[in-house]
Chain A
Amino acid sequence: MDNFALKVEDLVVYLDDLIAVRGVSFVINKGERWGLVGESGAGKSLTALAIMGLLQDGWKTSGAVLHDGMNLLQASDKTLSARRGRTMSMVFQDPTTALNPVAKVGKQITWILRHHMHVTQKDAYEQSLVLLNKMNLPRPESIMDSYPHQLSGGQRQRIMIAMALACYPELIIADEPTTALDVTVQKQVLRLLDAAVTERNCGLLLITHDLPVIAAMCENVAVMYGGRIVETGKISDVFTNPRHPYTKGLLASQPTLDNIDLDGGTRLPSIRGSVPPLYAMPDGCAFAERCDFATQKCKELPELDNQIQQVACWNPVAEARKGA
């Protein structure tokens, strides 16, 4: 049996002549919490949807997504749907629209258990109650009997997580699971995800643009820009010693209590310019236009190097400083 939960090899996702994900590779081992960060439009969500086989009509993929002993990109919708919710599951960003508004919560959770685990309705109901209990949802019976619109956003997101965990999947993909929630609820939801990974030894792919969330949750991280991974490695390395100028800029533009000058006067540093649109993506390094260290060499596409903390940059931060 593989000891990885997910292996992505050279994944390319495109629609007609727009390439949104341009060759992404990574491995998530079982029990590993793996973070994917980047601005919106960097290709994070499309990567996740491509793994699940849930891309919208018209989007095409190339490369390989290995999971549960097969290449998911070549599997039929039927084969995939037997995996979805069973060996891999996904938590979406907006819990207000992610649940079927006309079905009771109980029906939506028990369906998964009955469909994948072939248990009786009674057993499915019991197991659902246990799951909801674990999600710290008070009075699970009444929640099972509620429609989504009767519950709060935090409750709904916990239900989404319960649904994702129901069949003990090997891989959980969480796409911005806390972005739509209040700060106080965010922490609870993250703790639940964290505990689930520890308890079940499954792989977690956590997608967010929120660096502190990644820092608190994950062991490893990949930074995405312009449809490619530009830097990847251990959280401690990447976040303390960023090698890619983009990672560095991203970290510098995070508001922390240290660099907020309460008396005013100083401004939060930001990265100049904006992400190039898909149709104007340069052939070389996508970040070159916004990069202070860009050289002629950056017209060519840099690949990830072979260091432990991999970076795809012709002038990584340490060297660039030396030269400057």
Chain B
Amino acid sequence: MSEKLQSVKNSLKRPRKKSRLPLIVGASITLVMVIIGVISMFWIPQDVNVSDPSIRMLPIGTPHHLFGTDFLGRDVTSMLMTGVRTSVIIGASAAFLSLFIGTLFGMLAASISKLDEPIMRTADIFMAMPGIIFALVLASTIGAGYVTTIFALTSFFTPAFVRVTRASSMRVLSEDYISVARLYGRSRLFITIRHVLPNVSSILIVQFTIYFAAGVLSEAGLSFLGVGINRPSVSLGMMLHEAVEQIGITDPLGVWPGLGIVILVIGLNLLGDGLRDYFDPRFSQRVR
């Protein structure tokens, strides 16, 4: 055996395994946030709308009020838990509805060429609109709240799903085995459900987590403006809105909701990145 080969063999290092850390950290953060949200549906320390002027602005770490109380003496811990629930529900609903509608239209555009142009141009139009302005108008005319916010976010997330679904479906549909399936007499519906859907599902799952995060951010923004979630509901963005309006920016009350949003969004984004690496090793393959 050649000397060089032998010396190389002796010096070989095991490859560093592609880290699963983002996936694990992201999934854990998301899971914890979802659990907090679920718990808040059944139990919170105190009603979020009951104020008690005698215990206004209690500091952090007060017994029975772990995160203190706000300017009306309402329990911050309860509000944070409820706020996380709102973020998760709105982010997930908007992302899920967009996923559902977007996949449907994306696949229609990919498999029926007559529908391709109209669907894609409509998507382009929606994509070019400044979503927040519409949400603003919508919220002020038909009233703010869960449904309005989810509706507004869905309208502006869906085009992205349409595009991604169409592009990846087209790629699948141009494969040889699809032509074979066609020659074999398989129907469009069969091909779509049997061949296209499984092949694009991983991309769509990643897209879902990304837009889940975007939904959380957008909801927070709208609620901060005062046109998203309002009392008696509670959201993290709304808590910041109240904190800024009532006591100024210097108070720690403005820190916790913001931190909550950041953690949830980082968790979701890490989960998305981790899932992408997990589903498609080509992105991080050692031998390209």
Contact = CB atoms under 8 A, between A and B. Distances in A.
Direct A–B touching, Cβ under 8 Å: yes
Given A10-B3, A23-B2, A58-B286, A17 B8 contact: no
Contact of B5 (A15, A17, A22, A58): A22
B14 interface: yes
A19 B8 contact: yes
Contacts of A23: 1-2, 4-5
A245 B121 CA distance: 61
Contact of A16 (B2, B3, B7, B12): B12
Nearest to A227: B5
B15 A16 contact: yes
A26 interface: no
Contacts of B183: none
B9 A19 contact: yes
Interface size class of B (residues with CB under 8 A): 10 to 19
A15 B13 CA distance: 9
A18 interface: yes
Contact of A17 (B1, B13, B287, B288): B13
B288 A56 contact: yes
Contacts of A195: none
Contact of B15 (A10, A12, A17): A17
A14 interface: yes
Given A16-B286, A17-B15, A18-B287, A301 B1 contact: yes
Interface string A105-133: 00000000000000000000000000000
A19 B288 CA distance: 15
Contacts, number: 45
Contacts of B4: 10-12, 23, 62-63
A38 to B, nearest CB: 18
**Majority SS of interface residues in chain B?**
loop
Interface in A7-34: 10-12, 14-19, 22-23
A62 B8 contact: yes
Nearest to A9: B4
Contacts of B288: 56
Contacts of A303: 1-2
Given A10-B3, A23-B2, A15 B286 contact: yes
Interface string B270-288: 0000000000000000111
A19 B14 contact: no
A16 B5 contact: no
Contacts of A56: 288
Given A58-B286, A301-B1, A14 B12 contact: yes
A44 to B, nearest CB: 15
B12 A17 contact: yes
Nearest to B287: A15
Contacts of B7: 62
A184 to B, nearest CB: 26
A324 B1 CA distance: 27
Interface string B66-78: 0000000000000
A12 B2 CA distance: 10
Nearest to B3: A10
Contacts of A14: 8, 12
A211 B4 CA distance: 30
Nearest to A61: B8
Contact of A12 (B8, B286, B287): B8
Interface string A54-96: 0010100011000000000000000000000000000000000
B20 to A, nearest CB: 18
Contacts of B8: 12, 14, 19, 62
Contacts of B9: 19
Contacts of A18: 15, 287
Nearest to A59: B287
21 contacts: A10-B2, A10-B3, A10-B4, A10-B5, A12-B4, A12-B5, A14-B12, A15-B15, A15-B287, A16-B12, A16-B13, A16-B286, A17-B12, A17-B15, A18-B15, A19-B8, A23-B1, A23-B4, A58-B286, A63-B4, A301-B1
Interface of A: 10-12, 14-19, 22-23, 56, 58, 62-63, 301, 303
